[in-house]
């Protein structure tokens, strides 16, 4: 049931996924849990479970939540992490997700298995070259992720990446814009760039249902867009450095500022620093631990329900999209 029958934004993505609004929940590792996915589905968007690095117990538990809810849902995986535990894909596919989203690295080893079920394949890419590779491999929907995004990503800005990928695909596959989008302005802009929808992470992190610490949500509300940093510092702290070109965007804090630019020196103190980081993460001390968030933090000032997030985005975008017609 649409939030408001007057605010209809139909695109190839709403049609393909069977949803009311072209708004997708980013599969944020552990933060996008079953509860948040269900809430996004109930509000007319498309929730994607944050399978992330692949914690099997967590995945099974959250898939159980989704089973009980009868929600439409997707499951997201970090491709190179899934390669180490390929059976997690089978666990997910058994639950009949509407879509599986693969991010980072080649989707080729997994696409055939997904396509043998009815699931739609969503591939998140960070460059024109990766988009062409994923499209050729059989992706049904491409998510173009700009550098503005929180968490892992690469260097291309969203405003050029989306139209360039749209052109490269010649309209054959729908493109969803991700990174830096948190309101109706972002959705309307994405549609103008040729996207058929948006995928939002940070905006949904600062929602009531997201499975993140309250302290992290509050820091997202307080930060400006100048307060994030794309780097490998936090990955070093977590002993989890990704292969180039991927880096992670987090909120800056005193600890990151201290080590940014001194990454090689940091490696020399890794045992001590990673222990300190793990303790801070456990304690919710975000002067040391990272709040994984994108540049959209500067557009986020409260912690509403996922329903209210979607309602606001849809209403604002609808008003903007019809504003220039007069």
| Angular region, 170: left φ>0, alpha ψ -120 to 50, beta rest | left
User: Contact region for its own copies (CB under 8 A) — 54-62, 94-102, 176-184, 273-281?
Assistant: 176-184
**Binders in 279-308 for its own copies, by CB under 8 A:** 294-296, 298-299
Residues contacting its own copies: total by CB under 8 A: 45
User: Judged by CB under 8 A, which of 34, 186, 201, 248 binds its own copies?
Assistant: 186
**Binders in 194-223 for its own copies, by CB under 8 A:** 194
Q: Regarding beta strands 247-251 and 175-178, do their DSSP bridges make them parallel or antiparallel, or are they unpaired? A: unpaired
Residues in the chain: 326
Q: Is position 30 an interface residue for its own copies (rule: CB under 8 A)?
A: no
Q: Closest separation between CB of residue 123 and its own copies, Å?
A: 17
* Cα gap 13→144, rounded to integer Å: 14
Q: Closest separation between CB of residue 260 and its own copies, Å?
A: 11
Q: Closest separation between CB of residue 177 and its own copies, Å?
A: 8
Q: Is position 191 an interface residue for its own copies (rule: CB under 8 A)?
A: yes
Cβ proximity to its own copies: between 278 and 299 the closer is: 299
Cβ proximity to its own copies: between 90 and 170 the closer is: 170
Instruction: Check: CB of residue 253 under 8 Å from CB of residue 287.
Output: yes
Q: Is position 185 an interface residue for its own copies (rule: CB under 8 A)?
A: yes
User: Judged by CB under 8 A, which of 14, 145, 147, 253 binds its own copies?
Assistant: 147
* Cα gap 229→257, rounded to integer Å: 9
Q: DSSP label at 71?
A: -
User: Judged by CB under 8 A, which of 108, 128, 137, 211 binds its own copies?
Assistant: 128
Residue with tokens 């400006």: 224
Q: Is position 192 an interface residue for its own copies (rule: CB under 8 A)?
A: yes
Instruction: Check: CB of residue 24 under 8 Å from CB of residue 32.
Output: no
The H-or-E segment that residue 202 falls in is helix 202-205
Q: Is position 171 an interface residue for its own copies (rule: CB under 8 A)?
A: no
User: Judged by CB under 8 A, which of 222, 226, 287, 302 binds its own copies?
Assistant: 226
User: Judged by CB under 8 A, which of 41, 148, 273, 311 binds its own copies?
Assistant: 148
Cβ proximity to its own copies: between 65 and 320 the closer is: 320
* Cα gap 184→188, rounded to integer Å: 6
Closest CA to 314 of 23, 12, 17: 23
Q: Closest separation between CB of residue 235 and its own copies, Å?
A: 17
User: Judged by CB under 8 A, which of 34, 54, 97, 179 binds its own copies?
Assistant: 179
* Contacts with its own copies, residue ranges (CB under 8 A): 9, 127-129, 146-148, 155-161, 163-164, 167, 179-183, 185-186, 188-194, 224-226, 230, 294-296, 298-299, 320-322, 324-325
């Amino acid at each position: 049931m649409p939030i408001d029958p007057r605010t209809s934004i139909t695109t190839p993505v709403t049609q393909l996924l069977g949803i009311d609004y072209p708004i997708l929940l980013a599969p944020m590792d552990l933060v996008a849990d079953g509860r948040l996915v269900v809430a996004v589905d109930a509000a007319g968007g498309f929730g994607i479970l944050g399978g992330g690095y692949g914690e099997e117990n967590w995945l099974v538990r959250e898939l159980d939540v989704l089973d009980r809810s009868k929600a439409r849902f997707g499951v997201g995986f970090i491709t190179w992490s899934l390669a180490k535990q390929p059976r997690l894909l089978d666990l997910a596919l058994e639950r009949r997700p509407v879509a599986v989203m693969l991010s980072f690295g080649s989707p080729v080893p997994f696409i055939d298995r997904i396509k043998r079920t009815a699931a739609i394949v969503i591939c998140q890419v960070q460059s024109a070259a990766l988009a062409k590779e994923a499209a050729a491999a059989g992706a049904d929907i491409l998510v173009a992720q700009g550098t503005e995004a929180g968490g892992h990503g690469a260097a291309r800005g969203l405003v050029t990446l989306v139209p360039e990928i749209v052109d490269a695909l010649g309209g054959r596959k729908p493109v969803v814009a991700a990174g830096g989008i948190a309101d109706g302005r972002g959705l309307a802009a994405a549609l103008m760039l040729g996207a058929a929808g948006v995928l939002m992470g940070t905006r949904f992190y600062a929602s009531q249902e997201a499975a993140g610490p309250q302290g992290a949500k509050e820091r997202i509300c307080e930060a400006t867009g100048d307060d994030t940093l794309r780097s490998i510092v936090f990955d070093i702290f977590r002993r989890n450095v990704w292969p180039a070109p991927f880096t992670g965007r987090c909120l800056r804090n005193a600890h990151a500022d201290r080590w940014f630019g001194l990454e090689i020196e940091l490696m020399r103190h890794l045992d001590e620093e990673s222990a300190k980081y793990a303790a801070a993460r456990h304690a919710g001390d975000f002067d040391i631990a990272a709040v994984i968030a994108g540049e959209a933090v500067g557009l986020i000032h409260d912690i509403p329900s996922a329903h209210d997030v979607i309602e606001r985005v849809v209403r604002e975008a609808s008003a903007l999209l019809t504003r220039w017609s007069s």
